[in-house]
């Protein structure tokens, strides 16, 4: 059942805690190079987090953004009390099978089941990860294979140049002894859940990268993952496009450190008009930079929330719901309205709960 109270989004993201960027080159030289690269430390710290301007909160992006199609809070028709006009054409109504309710914009049917989340008893604080020139050195990679290399996405041929999204927003669990990002946890998926509660359907871009593996889920279902133990998971900023229906959607982003040095970065940008991100060219043309609504870069000082042996965990197919005042696990199934075959909308069925 889709409860209206879910529209109240808890302000779970506080302002980022400024981090004092401590040069770590000497430290790195002592401990050896980051894994997967034998070419030395990242050089002078060029962390520019202070220059990031993240205006978003965890709230639903304003529906009045120019240029996107989610604007269903428009004017209310003025009723003429003395001369009742015929009801305006309500447009196609969404009919749903038993157990499903129409989404707020009547664009799909959804079933949600919410159960308690398990607190694993261990909580990792988020620290700014160590920069490295190999992070994002090849730029962004889009689903169709197109690669875009520049300073924003990443472009480096050697230790003297450190840039790109993963260096900008990369984080990992703090080492409690040093107060800086450490190696641990090793061998555990950790990350964040971000809840979108939308008045209308839309498209979103997600960028993700990590040392050593990354995974992206929409409504409990994996939509992108990079599980190879090679350097590509952090040499590229991996872009995915998500179609999301109106109502509640949960995006979960996780990183996995196989060994040694760790970093994980992810960003959500949008909304963009529904079905507007159909190919690499459209995604490249979209204004990702100005539409970021979530970034790991603003999580420093907070806690990782989606873990396996730490943070919060949910049953398979359920997503950690941070729209609620307390974290809970929500299963979200989205299907087309009866009689419609909305092939443009990928199923976000998380499987039978």
Residue 50 CB neighbour total at 10 angstroms: 10
Which one, 154 or 200, has the nearer CB to Ca ion? 154
Least Å from the CB of residue 259 to Ca ion: 5
Given 132, 213, 245, 257, the residue binding Ca ion (CB under 5 A): 257
Query: Please, what is the minimum distance in Å from the beta carbon of residue 171 to Ca ion?
Result: 14
Choose the binding region for Ca ion from 51-59, 80-88, 256-264, 289-297 (rule: CB under 5 A): 256-264
Hey, is 311 helix, strand or coil?
Answer: coil
Residue 296 near residue 206, CB atoms below 8 Å:
no
Q: Please, are residues 111 and 248 in contact by the beta-carbon 8 Å criterion?
A: no
Candidates 45, 57, 175, 260; binder of Ca ion (CB under 5 A) is 260
- Under 8 Å CB-to-CB from 53, ≥6 apart: which residues? none
Instruction: Measure the CA–CA gap between 200 and 105, rounded to whole angstroms.
Output: 6
CA 87 to CA 216: how far, in whole Å?
Answer: 44
Cα separation values, 213 from 60, 158, 226, 302, Å: 29, 23, 6, 22
Single out the segment in contact with Ca ion by CB under 5 A; choices: 71-79, 134-142, 203-211, 216-224: 203-211
The pair of structure tokens assigned to 343 is 């092939």
CB of 152 to Ca ion, least distance (A): 24
Task: Give the shortest CB-304-to-Ca ion separation in angstroms.
Answer: 16
Query: Segment contacting Ca ion (CB under 5 A): 34-42, 86-94, 131-139, 231-239?
Result: 34-42
Cα 122 to chain center, whole Å? 22
Site for Ca ion in 105-144 (CB under 5 A): none
Query: Applying CB under 5 A, does 188 fall inside the site for Ca ion?
Result: no
If one asks whether residue 240 binds Ca ion (CB under 5 A), the answer comes out as: no
Nearer to Ca ion, 138 or 312 (CB): 138
Among 47, 107, 128, 211, binds Ca ion (CB under 5 A): 211
User: Between residues 96 and 166, which has the closer beta carbon with respect to Ca ion?
Assistant: 166
CB atoms inside a 10 Å sphere around CB 235: 23
Does 57 help bind Ca ion (rule: CB under 5 A)?
A: no
Tell me the Ramachandran region of residue 212: left when phi exceeds 0, alpha when psi lies from -120 to 50, beta otherwise: alpha
Please give the backbone phi and psi of residue 241, each rounded to the nearest 5 degrees, phi first: -110, 135
Answer for which of 2, 19, 35, 225 binds Ca ion (CB under 5 A) is 35
- Applying CB under 5 A, the span of 217-225, 253-261, 264-272, 295-303 interacting with Ca ion comes to 253-261
Q: Which stretch binds Ca ion (CB under 5 A): 5-13, 139-147, 249-257, 288-296?
A: 249-257
Binding residue for Ca ion, selected from 212, 240, 295, 330, defined by CB under 5 A:
212
Contact window for Ca ion (CB under 5 A) among 6-14, 84-92, 133-141, 251-259: 251-259
Beta strand pairing status for 126-128 and 171-173?
antiparallel
SS3 167: helix
For Ca ion, the binding residues in 75-104 under the rule CB under 5 A are: none
Q: How far apart are CA 119 and CA 159, in angstroms?
A: 41
Residue 224 phi, psi (nearest 5):
-155, 140
**Is the Cα dihedral 120, 121, 122, 124 positive or negative?**
positive
How many chain residues are in contact with Ca ion, going by CB under 5 A?
6
At 113, phi and psi to the nearest 5? Answer: -130, 125
- What is the smallest separation between the CB atom of 31 and Ca ion, expressed in angstroms? 13
Provide the binding-site residues for Ca ion, judged by CB under 5 A.
35, 211-212, 257, 260, 262
């Amino acid at each position: 059942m889709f409860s209206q109270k879910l529209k109240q989004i808890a302000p779970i993201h506080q302002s980022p805690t400024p981090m004092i960027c401590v040069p770590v080159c000497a430290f790195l030289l002592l401990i050896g190079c980051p894994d997967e690269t034998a070419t030395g430390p990242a050089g002078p710290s060029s962390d520019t987090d202070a220059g990031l301007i993240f205006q978003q909160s965890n709230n639903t992006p304003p529906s009045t953004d120019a240029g996107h199609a989610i604007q269903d809070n428009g004017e209310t028709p003025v009723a003429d009390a003395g001369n009742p006009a015929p009801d305006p054409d309500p447009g196609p109504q969404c009919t749903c099978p038993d157990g499903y309710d129409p989404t707020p914009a009547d664009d799909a049917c959804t079933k949600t089941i919410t159960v308690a989340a398990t607190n694993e008893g261990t909580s990792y604080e988020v620290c700014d990860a160590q920069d490295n020139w190999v992070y994002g050195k090849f730029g962004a990679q889009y689903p169709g294979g197109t690669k875009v290399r520049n300073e924003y996405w990443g472009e480096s041929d050697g230790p003297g140049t450190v840039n790109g999204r993963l260096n900008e927003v990369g984080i990992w669990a703090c080492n409690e002894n040093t107060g800086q990002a450490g190696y641990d946890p090793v061998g555990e998926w950790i990350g964040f859940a971000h809840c979108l509660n939308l008045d209308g359907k839309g498209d979103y871009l997600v960028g993700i990268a990590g040392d050593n593996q990354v995974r992206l889920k929409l409504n409990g279902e994996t939509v992108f993952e990079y599980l190879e133990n090679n350097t590509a998971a952090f040499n590229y900023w991996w872009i995915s496009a998500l179609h999301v229906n109106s109502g509640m959607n949960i995006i979960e982003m996780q990183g996995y450190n196989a060994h040694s040095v760790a970093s994980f970065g992810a960003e959500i940008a949008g909304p963009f008009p529904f079905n507007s991100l159909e190919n690499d060219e459209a995604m490249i043309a979209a204004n990702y930079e100005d539409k970021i609504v979530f970034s790991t870069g603003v999580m420093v000082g907070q806690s990782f929330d989606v873990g396996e042996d730490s943070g919060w965990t949910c049953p398979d197919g359920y997503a950690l719901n941070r729209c609620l005042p307390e974290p809970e696990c929500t299963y979200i199934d989205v299907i087309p309205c009866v009689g419609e075959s909305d092939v443009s909308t990928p199923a976000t069925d998380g499987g039978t709960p």
